Structure 1
Amino acid sequence: MIVLSCLFFLDVQTVLAQSYYFKNYTMEDGLAQDQVQCMFQDSKGYVWIGTNGAGVNRFDGHKMGVFTTNDGLVNNRINMITEDGFGNIWIGTGNGISKFDGTQFHNYTTKHGLIANEISEIFVDDKQTLWVGSGNNGVICTMDISEKDGVGKSFKRVNFESLDNQSITMIGQDKNLNLWIGTNIGLIKCEPNKDIRTEFDLYTVDDGLPNNLVSYILHASSGKIWFGTNEGICVYNEEEQPYFSVHELNVEIPCYGLIEDKTGQIWYTSFDAGVRVIKDGEYNHLKEEQGLLSHHVFSLMCDHEGNVWIGTYGDGVSVYTGKLFELYSKRNGLGDDFIWALHTDSRGNIWSGSDIGGASFFDGQKFTNFNYENGLGSNRARAILEDNQGNIWVGTEKVAIYSGGVAVLSKADFVKGDYTFKNYTIADGLSHNSVYSIFQDKQDNLWFGTMNGVTKYDGKEFKTITSADGFTNNRVYAITEDNQGNIWFGTGGGGLIKYFPKKKSGQKIQTITTADGLASNDIRTIIQDTIGNLWIGTGGGISIYNGITFRNITTKHGLSSDRLYLMIFDDDYLWLGSNVGVDRLDYKRYMKTGKITIKNYGFLEGFIGVETNTNAVCKDTSGNILFGTIRGIVKYNPKEDVAKFTEPLMRMVELRLNGDMISFETGKQFEYDQNNLTFEYIGITYQTPEKVNYQYMLDGFDSKWSYVTKETYVSYSNLPPGEFTFKVRSSIGDELWSPSPVEHHFVIFPPFWQTWWFYILSVLVTFGGIFTIVKWREKRLHRIRHMLEKKVKERTQELNEKNDKLELITIELQRSNKALEEFAYVASHDLKEPLRKIRVFGERLAMSIENSLRGKDKEYMTKMNDAASRMKNLIDSLLMYSRVSTRRSPYEPTNLNEVVQGVLSDLEISIKESKGKVEVQDLPVIEADKLQMQQLFQNLISNALKFRKKDVPPEVTVTCTSGQNGDCKFFVKDNGVGFNVQYLDKLFKPFYRLHGKYEYEGTGIGSSICQKIVERHGGDITAESTEGAGTIFIVTLPLKQKEKF
C-alpha cells in the first residue's frame, strides 16, 4: 500500500506555512530498504533507488523491482548510480562497480584496475569516459566506454601528486565541458583538452568556498554553477574574485544533495536538517514538523516530469509533485481543521467557520480565532457573510449547552479591533438557533436558512417562513436570488423552493422536486449563471434549470461523485465540491456546444482535504479558490494548473513464450507451435501512475485498437503463421494518447506442410498421379468416344432438323404479331377518316333538320352521333395502345413535376367544370419515356376526375415515396365512387368496364394502356379501393433504366 502524506513549507517571511501533497514509498510498497543513499532516473524513465545494504530498486511507478547480489550485483550497499550513452546503468557499491546492460550485471573490482573497491563517485563525461573516485588515496580511475561492448576492458589510473591520500568526493562537468573534481582539500577545475594530472586549478576557502570538502555540483538553468560543501552551498563567479560567493540564505551544514527542479527552485539537503528550497530570495525549510518523513535526508533527485524525490535515511522516499493545492490547518493557526464556511470580505480577509473552533479570519499573515467567549452562539460556525455595510454575520449551530443562533460583528468594532459579536436567537425572532446559510438580497434584506425554515431580517425585525407557510422541508442549506428578484431555497429533502416576495396576494411559494425533473430533493448549494440558469448541487448530481426544464449531470457524465456540497464560478469554469474531492466543469464549452467536459481533482491529484463541506468555498483577492474540507482550508492555485501533458514513457517489459520469459532480441522468430505469447508493458509516470490507460493491437491479427484498459499485459494464444507487429500506447486519464506506440515485430514460421516447397512437391506428386490415371483412362475413353460420336452425330442431325422447324415457326409468329399490330394500327387509322365524316355530316344533318325532327327521329339522330363519338374514342384508345409498343422514345431524365403540371394544364377545363382539386407533392426525376409518362398520368388523373361521386367535387392527390431497391412508388388517390376489389384482376384488361358505359364515358382501355406503359418501364401497377370511398392507384417505377429503350 502506498503511503501518502502532506508536506509543510515554512516561509521565513511569514508565520504561515502551507502544506503540499507528497507521495511516499517505504518497504511496505516494495522498497528494498528504507535507508536510501542515492537515486537516479535513467533514459527509459525507470527510477533507480540505492539502499544502504539491501541492493537497488528499479521502479516504474507501479512495481518495485529489486536487484541484489543474488541477481549478480557486486555488493548490496549502493553509493552512486549513473548511465552511459548506450543505456548501461553503472552502480558504485561498497565492493566495486556493477554495470547492468538491461539483461545482466558485469562487475568490476580492483582486479580490473580499480584502486579500491569502496566507490564514492561515478561520472560519465561527454566523450563517454567513465570517471571513478574511490578510497582515500587521491586517485581517479577512468575507462573508455565509447564502444557499446566494453566487456573485458580495464580501468586506468589518474594520479594527482598533490592529492596523495586525499578523498575524491565529487566528479562532474559543467555546460562548458570543464571537469570539476571535489576533494576534501578543495575543488579542482580542468578545462577541456588539458592534461588533468598537471594542468588544473585548485580552489579552496581562500577563493570563497565555505569549506574545502566539496561534494556536489549543479549547473543551473540560470547559468550559475552551484556547489555543495561541508558547510552549505555557494555559487561560482568566473569573472570576479573571490571566485565563490556564499548564498545569502546559506546554512553552514554539510550538503548531502543539490538539485534544481523544473521551476528553477534550488533544493539542497543535509543529513539531519531536512530539506531547504531557495528561489527569488525566499527560503523554505522542510522537516518532520512540516510533514516530511524524516529530517534525516540523504539524497535528492528531480525526474523528467518535474517531481522531486527525497530519499531519507531510515524512512523511505517522498515524492513532491507540485503545489497545485495548499492546505491550511490547525498547524497554521486555524481553530479547527473541519471547515464549514468560507467567505472573503471587502478588505481581502478570509473568514472561515469550523466545527469546534468557532470562526477565524486570515489577514495574509496569521489567523485570528473567535469562539463562544467572543459572543458567538456556539463554536460550530456553519455560515459566514459580510453584508453591504461591512458587518460580519456568523451563523452557528445549537450544540449541547451552546445556544447557537446568528452573531454579528460590526464594521466599526472590527476596524478598531474590538472582536465582540452580538448574537441573535429564537428569542429575537429567529426561526431556529441552528443556522446553516446566510444570504443578502438586492433589497439588503438578510436571509438565514435554519433547521426550521428561513428568517428574513430587514435591519429592524425578523420574519420567519416555515412549513406552516408551505415549506415542504424546514432544513434550508442554500439560498440565492434570481434576476427577477425571486428567492430560491435548497432544502435537505424537500426539493427546491421558489419564493415570490413581490406578490401582493395569492400563493407566494412554489415547490420543485424530482417529479419535475430535479436530480434529488436533497439540495446543498445553488448558484446562478450570467444568463439566469440555476445550477443546483444535489445528492444526485447537478441540476441545471432554465426556468422551464432541467438537465442533470451525474457521475455518468464524469462527476467524481453525485453528492455535491458546493459550487463556485471561476472565469470559464464551474467548480464543484463533493465527498471525494473537487471537479472542474468547462462551463464555457458546455454553454457553447452542450458538451460536458469535467476534470477531477482527488487525493491523488493533490487535493489534500479530500471531502468538502456545504457551501464552504470562496475566492481570494488573487483569484485563488479556497475550499473548506474536513482537513482544513485547501487553496487552489490556478497559475499552477497549466496544461503540461507529459505522456508516459512506454516500455516493453517482458515477453513470454508459452509462459517462459524470453528476451525481445530472441523473440523475433518462432516455430509454428511457439504461438502462445504474452506481452508485458508499462507506461512510466510518477505523478499519477494510477491513471495510466493502455490500448494495444497486434498488426496482422487485430483489425483495430483494443478497448481502453489498465492491465499491463496481454496474451495471444494459437496465433497462426505470419508476420506480426505488437503495438501498445498509453495516456494519462482522458489526455491525448501517446503519438508513437512502442512496437515489437516478429514472425511465426509455418509447419513444413504449409511451406511453399511442400506445396510445390505436393502439386507435382498430385499431377504425376493424375497424369498416370489420365493416360490409363484415355485408352478406355477413346473407345467409348467413337461409340458416342456416332450416337451424337445421329442425335445432332435430329436436333438440327427440329431447330430449323422451331426457327421457321418463330419467324412466322413474329411476322404474325407484327402484322397484327400493323393491322390494328392501320385499321384504327383508316377507320378514323370515314368515321370523322359520319360524325361531321351527322352533326350537320342534325342541325339542318333539327326543327323538323320529331319524337323517335330525334332520339335516333342523337344515338347515331353518340355512337360515332364513342367509336372515335375507341379508335383513339386503340391507336394509343398500339403506339405503346410500336412508337417508343428512348429513356431520358424526366422531371415528373413538369410532366404532371403539363397534364394538369391539359385537364384545366375538366377540373374547373367539376370544381375539383388536385394536389401534387414533390416528385422525383427518373429515366423514362417522357411522352408515355404524360399518357400514364393523363389517364390516372382524368379517370380520378371522371369517376367522381354525384354532387361531390373530386379531390385528387399525387404523392411519391422512395423504395429500398432504387425505385419509387407513386400514389394517385381520389374520393370517387371506387369499385369492388373482387374485380381488381379484371381492372387492367382491355375493353373491360367496371361501370356502365352510359353512367360514365370511356372505352375501357385506359387502364390497360397504363399497365402496358408501366410494364415497358420495368415497373408495376395495382390499385386499392372501396366502393363509395375512392380509389388509390399505386405505380412502382425504377429511378434508373438498364437499357436505352
Structure 2
Amino acid sequence: MRTYRHLWFYLLVILMLAWPQPAFSSSQAAQSQPLRWNQKSRFLRLGVDDGLLSSTVLSVLQDQQGYLWFTTSNGLSRYDGYSFVNYRHDSENPDSLSSNSLHALIQSRDGLLWIGADPGGLNVYDPKTDRFHSYRHDPQNPNGLPDDSVWALLEDRDGNIWIGTRNGLSRLDRRSDTFTNYLPDADNPRALAAPVINRLYQDRNGTIWVATRAGLQRYDPSTDDFTLFQNNPDDPNSLSHNSVWAMLEDRHGNFWVATRGGGLNLMDRATGTFRAYRYDPQDDTTISDNNLWYLYEDRSGNIWISTENGGLNLFNPLTETFIRFQHDPNNPFSISHNDTYWITEDRSGAVWVTSRYGGVNQLSPVFQRFGIMRHTPGDRSGLSSSDVYSLLTADDGSLWVGTFGGGLNHYDPQTGRMRVYRNDPADPGSLSSNKIYNMLIDRNGTLWIGTSGGGLNRLNAGSRQFVAYKRNLDDPAAFRTNFIFSLAEAPDGRLWVGTLGFGLDLFDPASGTVVERYVHDAEDPHSLSEDTIYDLVVNSRGQVWIATARGGVNLFDPATRRFTVFMNRADDPASLASNTVNALYLDEKANWLWAATGSGLSRLDLTTQTWKNYTLKDGLPSDTVMSILPDGRGNLWLGTASGLSRFSPADETFRNYDVQDGLHGNQFTFGAARNPKTGMLYFGGPTGLTYFDPADLKDNPYLPTVLLTGLDLFNQPLRPTAELLPQSLSFLPKLSLPHNQNSLTIHFTSLNYQISSKNRYQYMLEGFDKDWSPPRANREAAYTNLSPGRYTFLVRSANNDGVWGEVTQLPIEIIPPWWQTLPFQIGMALLIAGLIAAGVHLRLSQIRAANRKLEQRVAERTAELETEIFLRKQIEERLHEQLEQISALQNELRHQAMHDALTGLL
C-alpha cells in the first residue's frame, strides 16, 4: 500500500513538472500589488476645447519639474493642471520648433527635452531659456541625421541619444555632437533589418532593442551588430508578427513585445522564444486587439497596453487576464477613443493615456473613490432612470433602487446584473407606478414599496408579482391617497405609512387594511402637526419620530396616541432649525435625534429636549440637507443640495465632497441607504446615485510642489531671455531687480493633477508680509512699490484633499538707486565729514586770528589805559601835593592870623 502511495506521489511530481508553465513565475506575479482599476473606472478628458493643440496626441511625458508635455500633430503642449502653454513652429523665430507634426519625446538627464518631428528632424528644448534648436537631415552630410522624420528616441545609460527615423537608426554623441548612423544592408544579416524604426528601448542589462517593421532587433555595442528575431509561421514559439511597436521589461525581468498584427508577446531572452497573447472574440478577458502601439508598467506592477482599435488594456500578471477600457459614446467618463497611443503614470499615481483621435485621457485614483450608477442607454447593468428617489439594501447585499419615473431596480453587486421592474398597464401583477418614493423590507423579508400615484406595493418574492394597496374612498379601511412617501415597521410587524397630504396611517399587512389613521387637527395641539410626512423612525419603545414637510418633528406615543411637536421658533436659537424636515436619524446610544432640514442639520438632545443647529457658516456645503446616514465609524454622512458632507459629531467638523471628487452630481434627494455588512453607503439624486465605503476614502497623499511659472513687472510679462530674467523663474536662484522695477507679480502653480481645481495656495513675502495669505485658489501674488532691500518670497500649496506640501522659496533683492547704495552713502558721509572738518578748521583759524587781534587790541588798550592811569595818577599826586601845599598854606595863614589876633589883643 505504501509502495502505491509513493508511485502516486512520483507520478504527481512528474505531472507537475511536465505541466506547461508561464514564462514568468507565479511567485513574481504574486508580488504585484492589487489592481486599483476596473472596468467601471472613470476617465477625465482633455481636448482642443481645453487648449490642447490637437486631438492627435502621440506621446506624453512628465518632466523633472512635474509639467506634462504632449506631442501633437499641431505642435507641443505643456500642461500644468489648469491650462496649456503651446509651442508651434514660427518661421520668423529661429528659436521655435522646426515643425508642428511631432512624434517622439524624451527628457535627458540634464533636463533637456528631445522632440522628434515628422518632418522636421530632431528638436531640443531648454526649459531654462524657453528656446528650441534643431538637428536637420543634410543630404550632403553622411554623418548627419539620416532622415527628417524622427519616430523614436532613447537616451542610453552613457548619455548618448538614439534616434529612430524613417530611414535608419542614428546615435548622437553629445560630447562631440556627432552622429553615427546604422542603415539596412541586404548583404549583411547583422545589419539593421528595416529603415523605419518604430521604437527604441534599453533594458536593465544595458541592451538596446530596436522595434522595426521587419522584426525585433537586439543591438550589441561591442560588435555594432544587430540580432534579428522574426516571425516563423512554422514555429509557434517565434515572434507572433514582424511589425514590432513597443518593448517593456517589467519589474520582475519579464520582457514584453507588442506587435501590430500579432498581439502581445512574452520573450524568453535566454532562448529567443516567445509566448503570444492574442485577441479572442469569444473571450472578453483576452486582449481587445492584436494591433498594439505601446506598453507601460505602473507602480503597482500592472501592464498597460494601447491598441489601434480596441481601446486601452490593463494586463494583470496575477491572473494573466486583460481588463478592457473602451469608448462608449453614451458614457462621458469612458475613454475618449479606441485608438489609444501613449501611456504614462504621473508622480501622484494618475495614469495618462493619449489617443490618435481623441486627445488626452486621465485616470485619477482620487476620482475613483466614489462609484456612481446612472441610466445609460444600452447598458443593461445601468439604472432604468437616473432620477433616484429611494434606496434600500437587502440582507444578501443586493441593492434596491427606486427611481422617479423608471420603476424599481434590483442590483446584485456580485454579478453586476440589474433587474428592472416597471408598470405594465396590461399586467395587474406588475408594479403599480414607476415613481417610487420609499421602500422597506420587513422582518419577514417582504419588500414594500411606497409609490407616487400607485399606492403601497408588496413584492411577492417567489412569483415576482406585486400586490397594490390603493386609495378606496368607499372602504374606510383603505388608504385615502395613492401617494405613499415614507414607511417604518412597528414592533408588532405592522407598518407605519406616511403619506403626502393625508397624514399617518397604521397598516396591517395581515389583513391588508389601515387600522389607525392620524391627521392634523388645528383644534388639538397634541395632534399631528402636518399631514405630509417625509420620514419615519421607530425607537426601541415603539414610539414614532416623524419628519414633516412644514410641521417640524413629531414624536408619536402609541400608548397615549398623542403627538409631541418640535418646531422652529424664530426667537429661540435652541429650537429646530427649520420646520421642513427631510430625514431623521436616531442615535439612541448617544441619546440624540438628528434631523436633516431645509435650513441645516439639527441635533435634539433627548435628555434636555434642546436643539443645536449646524449651518453653512459651520461648514455645511448647503443649508438644504436631504438625507442622513451613519457610517459605523462615528460619523454622519449628509446628502445636500450642494454635494456630500461628512460630519464628525466628536469635533463638530465637516468634510465636503462634490462632483469634482467623483460624485454623480451635487444635488441629492431623499434616498440613502447603508449596507451594515459591507459598510457601503448609497446616496441618490436626480442624476444618479453615488456609492462608497467610508473606510476607503483615503486622502490624496501626494505632497504637491509649487513651481514659479512667470514674472510680471508693472503688469507686463517678462520673457526668460530678458535682461532682468536670464532664465525661467523656476530655475532662478535669486531675483534681482532695480529700484524702478519694484512693482511685480509672481505667478505659480502646483503640479498636482488630481482635481487640480481644488488646489489651494498660501504665500508671503518675508520682509514685507507679517503672515501667510489666506488659503485660496488664486495662483499669483502681486506687490507694488517695494522699497529697496532683501526679501524672500515663500509659497506653498495644498492638494485637493488639503494636504500641504513643501515651501518653495525665491530670494528677491530690490537694488537701491546709486544714490542709496552703501559706497555712495559712505562717500557722501566722508565728504560731508570732510567739509564739516574743513569748515570747523577754517572757523577755528578765523577765531584764533580774531582772538589774536583782540588780544593785541586789548594789550594796546591796556597800555593806553595804563598810561592814562599813570598820567592821571601823576596829576592826582600833583593835585594832592598842591592841595597839601594849599592846606599847609591855609593852616599857616590861619595860624598867622590867630597869632596876629592874639598879638593885637595883648
Structures share fold, TM-score greater than 0.5: yes
- Tell me the residue number matched to 2:644: 582
SS in 2 for 1:442: coil
1:453 partner amino acid:
G
Write out per-residue CA displacement over residues 397-454 of structure 1, whole angstroms, 9 at most, x where no aligned residue.
11xxxxx2111124xxx1x343333434355432432111111133433111111222
Task: Decide whether aligned partners of structure 1 residues 348 and 711 sit closer, same or farther in structure 2, where only a CA change above 3 A counts.
Answer: closer
Is residue 355 of structure 2 the alignment partner of residue 324 of structure 1?
no
- Tell me the residue number matched to 2:323: 283
Is residue 353 of structure 2 the alignment partner of residue 310 of structure 1?
yes
- Tell me the residue number matched to 1:174: 203
Is residue 436 of structure 2 the alignment partner of residue 381 of structure 1?
yes
- Tell me the residue number matched to 2:212: 183
Write out per-residue CA displacement over residues 454-510 of structure 1, whole angstroms, 9 at most, x where no aligned residue.
212244442121113622221111111234442111111211111122337xx4433
Is residue 816 of structure 2 the alignment partner of residue 750 of structure 1?
yes
Is residue 355 of structure 2 the alignment partner of residue 299 of structure 1?
no
Asked whether the equivalents of residues 696 and 726 of structure 1 are also in contact (C-alpha less than 8 Å), the reply is yes
- Tell me the residue number matched to 1:473: 530
Counterpart selection for 2:711 from 655, 658, 662: 655
State the distance in 1 between where 2:799 and 2:325 align: 32
Counterpart selection for 1:544 from 603, 608, 620: 603
- Tell me the residue number matched to 2:169: 140
- Tell me the residue number matched to 2:691: 635
Asked whether the equivalents of residues 171 and 180 of structure 1 are also in contact (C-alpha less than 8 Å), the reply is yes
Write out per-residue CA displacement over residues 536-560 of structure 1, whole angstroms, 9 at most, x where no aligned residue.
1111121122122222222223222
5+ long unaligned stretches in structure 2: 1-37, 279-284, 728-733, 855-906
1:686 partner amino acid:
Y
Worse-superposed segment, 232-241 or 532-541: 232-241
- Tell me the residue number matched to 1:22: 43
State the distance in 1 between where 2:768 and 2:53 align: 41
1:551 partner amino acid:
K
- Tell me the residue number matched to 2:126: 101
Asked whether the equivalents of residues 218 and 225 of structure 1 are also in contact (C-alpha less than 8 Å), the reply is yes
Q: Which structure 2 residues correspond to residues 83-162 of structure 1 after superposition, within 5 A?
A: 83-94=107-118, 95-102=120-127, 103-111=130-138, 113-135=144-166, 137=167, 139-145=168-174, 153-159=177-183, 161-162=188-189
SS in 1 for 2:42: strand
State the distance in 2 between where 1:713 and 1:394 align: 55
State the distance in 2 between where 1:479 and 1:760 align: 86
Q: CA deviation at 1:733?
A: 4.3
Aligned residue pair count = 743
Q: CA deviation at 1:694?
A: 1.1
SS in 1 for 2:348: coil
State the distance in 2 between where 1:246 and 1:69 align: 42
Q: Which structure 2 residues correspond to residues 897-936 of structure 1 after superposition, within 5 A?
A: none
Task: Decide whether aligned partners of structure 1 residues 557 and 18 sit closer, same or farther in structure 2, where only a CA change above 3 A counts.
Answer: farther
Is residue 519 of structure 2 the alignment partner of residue 453 of structure 1?
no
Asked whether the equivalents of residues 20 and 606 of structure 1 are also in contact (C-alpha less than 8 Å), the reply is no
State the distance in 1 between where 2:273 and 2:569 align: 77
Asked whether the equivalents of residues 121 and 132 of structure 1 are also in contact (C-alpha less than 8 Å), the reply is yes
Greater relative contact order: 1 or 2 (C-alpha under 8 angstroms, separation 6 or more)? 2
Q: CA deviation at 1:378?
A: 1.3
Is residue 295 of structure 2 the alignment partner of residue 258 of structure 1?
yes
2:505 partner amino acid:
T
5+ long unaligned stretches in structure 1: 1-16, 399-403, 788-1045
Q: CA deviation at 1:105?
A: 0.1
Is residue 449 of structure 2 the alignment partner of residue 394 of structure 1?
yes
Counterpart selection for 1:356 from 405, 422, 425: 405
Asked whether the equivalents of residues 20 and 325 of structure 1 are also in contact (C-alpha less than 8 Å), the reply is no
SS in 1 for 2:292: coil
Task: Decide whether aligned partners of structure 1 residues 164 and 665 sit closer, same or farther in structure 2, where only a CA change above 3 A counts.
Answer: same
Is residue 767 of structure 2 the alignment partner of residue 714 of structure 1?
no
Task: Decide whether aligned partners of structure 1 residues 781 and 729 sit closer, same or farther in structure 2, where only a CA change above 3 A counts.
Answer: same
Task: Decide whether aligned partners of structure 1 residues 502 and 781 sit closer, same or farther in structure 2, where only a CA change above 3 A counts.
Answer: farther
Is residue 555 of structure 2 the alignment partner of residue 498 of structure 1?
yes
Is residue 448 of structure 2 the alignment partner of residue 421 of structure 1?
no
Counterpart selection for 2:827 from 761, 781, 787: 761
Q: Which structure 2 residues correspond to residues 196-275 of structure 1 after superposition, within 5 A?
A: 197-198=224-225, 200=227, 202=229, 204=231, 206=235, 207-221=237-251, 223-230=253-260, 231-238=262-269, 242-246=273-277, 249-275=286-312
Task: Decide whether aligned partners of structure 1 residues 283 and 670 sit closer, same or farther in structure 2, where only a CA change above 3 A counts.
Answer: closer
Q: CA deviation at 1:201?
A: 6.0
Q: CA deviation at 1:20?
A: 4.1
SS in 1 for 2:622: coil
1:27 partner amino acid:
V
SS in 1 for 2:315: strand
- Tell me the residue number matched to 2:631: 570
- Tell me the residue number matched to 1:437: 486
State the distance in 1 between where 2:677 and 2:363 align: 27
Q: CA deviation at 1:233?
A: 1.6
- Tell me the residue number matched to 1:41: 62
Write out per-residue CA displacement over residues 347-383 of structure 1, whole angstroms, 9 at most, x where no aligned residue.
3221111111211212343222222234433110111
- Tell me the residue number matched to 1:915: none
Task: Decide whether aligned partners of structure 1 residues 222 and 395 sit closer, same or farther in structure 2, where only a CA change above 3 A counts.
Answer: farther
State the distance in 2 between where 1:681 and 1:333 align: 43
State the distance in 2 between where 1:393 and 1:288 align: 36
State the distance in 2 between where 1:238 and 1:626 align: 51
Q: What is the percent sequence identity of the aligned residues?
A: 25
State the distance in 2 between where 1:164 and 1:179 align: 15
Is residue 133 of structure 2 the alignment partner of residue 80 of structure 1?
no
The structure richer in helix per residue is: 1
Is residue 668 of structure 2 the alignment partner of residue 612 of structure 1?
yes
Asked whether the equivalents of residues 349 and 364 of structure 2 are also in contact (C-alpha less than 8 Å), the reply is yes
State the distance in 1 between where 2:87 and 2:265 align: 37
Q: CA deviation at 1:159?
A: 4.4
Asked whether the equivalents of residues 631 and 694 of structure 2 are also in contact (C-alpha less than 8 Å), the reply is no
Taking only aligned residues, the RMSD between alpha carbons, in angstroms, comes to 2.8
Task: Decide whether aligned partners of structure 1 residues 514 and 785 sit closer, same or farther in structure 2, where only a CA change above 3 A counts.
Answer: farther
Task: Decide whether aligned partners of structure 1 residues 473 and 405 sit closer, same or farther in structure 2, where only a CA change above 3 A counts.
Answer: same
Task: Decide whether aligned partners of structure 1 residues 219 and 570 sit closer, same or farther in structure 2, where only a CA change above 3 A counts.
Answer: farther
Asked whether the equivalents of residues 39 and 324 of structure 2 are also in contact (C-alpha less than 8 Å), the reply is no
Q: CA deviation at 1:203?
A: 5.3
Counterpart selection for 2:84 from 53, 64, 69: 64
Q: CA deviation at 1:339?
A: 1.2
Q: CA deviation at 1:752?
A: 2.2
